[in-house]
Amino acid sequence: MKKLFLSIFASTSLLMFSPFAQAEKNIELYEHGEEAHQTHCVKCHTSSVYTRETRFVKSMEALSKQVRRCKDNLGVAWFDEDTEAVAHFLNEKYYKF
């Protein structure tokens, strides 16, 4: 009985850290970033900013810095998690770093 319990516990623990759990977290992050982007960023930016050939952002680090810069310039009250969610959304949708 003890072996069965340990086996079930180990299986359940592995599922919590499985690719499925990570995928669900990524979906939540994407959706949160998309909502924050729609609320604040589209006031100044169209998608052409992200898709133009001469775009300034060339890495994920640069993208995160740019999102923080925009947030600070606008005085948007985002937590770090919000800023990273927007960067994640932009990367998944446009940049693909």
CA-based max dimension of the chain: 64
* Cα separation, 89 vs 86, whole angstroms: 5
What pLDDT, on a 0 to 100 scale, did the predictor assign at position 4? Answer: 45
Model confidence at 11, pLDDT cuts 50, 70, 90, reads low
Per-residue pLDDT at 89 exceeds 90: yes
Domains along the chain?
A: 26-95 (1.10.760)
For the stretch 33-58, pLDDT in tens is 999 999 999 988 888 989 998 888 99
Q: What is the number of other CB atoms lying within 10 angstroms of the CB of residue 31?
A: 12
For residues 67 and 83, is the Cβ–Cβ distance under 8 A?
yes
